[in-house]
Amino acid sequence: MTSCCRRLGSGAVATERPVRFRQYRPAVISRFPRNRGMEREGMVLRLAEMRYRRVEWAMGAGGGGRGWERSEAGGGSSSKEGGEKKVGSCSYAVDDQTAAAAAAENLVGRKYRAAEEESVNRTVEVTVAAAMTVALGVGNRVLYKLALIPLKHYPFFLAQLATFGYVVVYFSILYVRYHAGIVTDEMLSMPKAPFLAVGLLEALAAVTGMAAGAILSGASIPILSQTYLVWQIILSIIFLGRRYKVNQLLGCFLVAVGVIITVASGSGAGHSLKDAGIFWSLMMIASFLLQAADTVLKEVIFLDGARKLKGSTVDIFVVNSFGSAYQAVFIFMLLPFLSKLWGIPFGQLPNYIRDGTACFLNIGTLSNGCDGAPLLPVLFVIVNMGYNISLLHLLKISSAVVSSLASTFSVPISVFMFTLPLPYLGVASTLPTGFVAGVIVLVMGLLIYARTPSMASTDVSSPSSI
């Protein structure tokens, strides 16, 4: 067995301890006899043994070197004067550290570009979803006003049609999405307690809102509704661990002030709140607290679902379907109380629903004065359903606060829409005196809020926003 010795150079100085390569003699197989007694000429197979050459690294403190150098007999003296080392034919360039650093830098660059592209795509997705929510929110408010023209005597019927009718529609869509493979068994097997809480919160919010709305004037409700955004910020800090920057809190405050200036200027809302008393104002504020808790709870459901489903997210129709089903159950239990709030004796409720159905379909002798039905109520039902779905989708990909801002931004646009000559409304209304100033303040608030991505101000578990 022969061997050769190499030294690993480190910088300009080679290490004193040698590195040895062991070379093995090839194995010789003289002859392979063939079966059935047939012989061929012997053949010699020279097989180099496929073993790893054991390299005995004996490096000093210098680490990796620049090349392999032939070790001379007698301690490795150089062949040239002046101490210059002669690099032999077995020398190799050792650039592992440089190559690894370049590969790591390239990997970091690719990850950064991918993260930047994902951030841009997410911002575009949230912006488009917010714009669609605003547009559907405007249509929802305008069509609700138009739908109440033929159903002016049956607003309670329209509210219950939305509550119970949506359960059928949502579960029908859920059934189709399940068979299409979009909704999985894991989504449907999620715990139902959070959906039960969602239904209870929505039912209680509807009851308290109806009770307070029967006493308060229409001009005072938009002012009190701005507490909804405040409640969402507080609840998201408590239950989601969110941390908002100063510009975001200032932006939310300006949005609320802008809506108040836009809607309530010149309407005598302050006198209305004073005349109604503090109790009913607090009840309306409690109604918005329940609505804010409902949206934050839905965001918690999406976040928990993303963790339990290992990267996947809960389909919005799972949340909509089960939440609406439990809401319908609680509303049905509270029907005696709700009918009394609307001035309908519970014993006359079946007749009221029958008459409301006839007016909604615009058939029979009871349909006098129901011009515009069923077109306007059906349009409202469709747009209202699309608005709820869009709002929940925006909540899923951003946050409860962003969805609230999009919903709030639709208020002044709706006020402007009512100044246009819409059918069935008769004489168009005039803009409030502070409309332009309120819109300017509102837009400033949105721009200030959106200046810094909320991902920087939120906990890592949050889905972030614009």
Instruction: State how far the Cα of 233 lies from the Cα of 447, in Å rounded to an integer.
Output: 18
Q: Phi first, then psi: what are they for 347, rounded to 5°?
A: -65, -25
pLDDT digits (tens, 9 = 90+) for 109-129: 777 788 888 888 888 999 999
> Residues 24, 4: contact at Cβ < 8 Å?
no
| pLDDT at residue number 65 | 44
**What is the C-alpha to C-alpha distance for residues 278 and 288, in angstroms, rounded to an integer?**
16
The reply to whether 347 and 420 lie within a common domain is: yes
Please give the Cα distance from 350 to 457 (Å, whole number).
52
pTM: 0.71
pLDDT given for residue 296 in this prediction: 94
The string of pLDDT tens digits covering residues 373-394 is: 899 999 999 999 999 999 999 9
Between 379 and 89, the higher pLDDT residue: 379
- Does residue 178 share a domain with residue 63? no
56 and 161, same structural domain? no
Per the model's pLDDT, the better-predicted residue between 358 and 455 turns out to be 358
For Cα atoms 84, 87, 89, give the angle at the middle one, nearest 5 degrees: 160
Cβ atoms of residues 268 and 219 within 8 Å: yes
Question: Does residue 100 lie in a domain region?
Answer: no
Q: Are 134 and 85 contained in the same domain?
A: no
Q: Is 463 inside a domain boundary?
A: no
Please report whether residue 340 resides in a domain: yes
276 and 415 housed in the same domain? yes
Residues 82 and 146 in one domain: no
Is residue 91 pLDDT above 60, yes or no?
A: no
Distance CA 350, CA 339 (A): 11
Mean of the pLDDT values across residues 421-428?
80
The answer to whether residue 108 sits within a structural domain is no
SS percent in the chain: helix, strand, coil, step 5: 60, 5, 35
**Contact (Cβ atoms closer than 8 angstroms) between residue 208 and residue 286:** yes
277 in a structural domain: yes
Q: Which residues contact 78 (CB under 8 A, 6 or more apart)?
A: 72, 84, 85, 86
16 plus 163 within the same structural domain: no
Kindly report, residue by residue over 267-312, the tens digit of the pLDDT: 555 555 666 678 888 898 999 999 999 999 999 999 999 898 887 8
Is 371 inside any structural domain?
A: yes
Give the total number of structural domains in the chain.
2
CB 149 within 8 A of CB 374: no
Task: Indicate the residue among 94, 110, 138 that finishes a domain.
Answer: 94
Where is the domain boundary, 94, 115, 140?
94
The answer to the question of residue 243 being in a domain is: yes
Q: Which domain holds residue 187?
A: 130-457
Same domain, 176 and 90: no
In terms of domains, do 445 and 374 share one? Answer: yes
- What is the pLDDT at residue 231? 94
**Residues 185 and 308 reside in one and the same domain:** yes
Maximum distance among all alpha carbons in the chain?
122
Higher pLDDT, 257 or 269: 257
Average pLDDT for the chain: 77
- Considering the domain architecture, whether residues 90 and 201 belong to the same structural domain is answered as no
Burial class (CB in 10 A: 0-12, 13-18, 19+), 200: middle
402 and 300 both lie in a single domain = yes
- Residues 22-34, mean pLDDT to the nearest whole number: 44
Domain C-terminal end among 94, 109, 139: 94
The C-alpha atoms of residue 90 and residue 121 are separated, in whole angstroms, by 53
| Residue 107, in any domain of the structure | no
Distance from the Cα of residue 11 to its chain's centroid: 54
Strand ranges for 59-137 from DSSP E: 68-70
